[in-house]
Structure 1
């Protein structure tokens, strides 16, 4: 079974655009969204603001 691991060279940062997880972590909203990519192509978004983090689920590549 494959365990997803973010590849640092494939991680990008974007401006915050909205929640990425349920339940939402309101404190993590408003700063940046990191998009992590695994070597298999799956992606996961994480919102970060100060010390608050909201991590979404890994999504399979399309």
Structure 2
């Protein structure tokens, strides 16, 4: 099974199995391509999208 590796200069890598990593990218509006980037200025919106998705899934 494939994995997604999310890298950061400020934290350690976050590794997710393919279904979960792909879902995270879809939630934050990114193409689940082999390589991509989330810029610092995009992080607040990405975090909010993930929070909103978590609330929806808990409802």
Does the pair score TM above 0.5?
no
Q: By percentage of residues, which structure has more helix?
A: 2
Q: By percentage of residues, which structure has more strand?
A: 1
- TM-score (normalised: structure 1): 0.26
- TM-score (normalised: structure 2): 0.27
Higher relative contact order (CA 8 A, sep 6+): 1
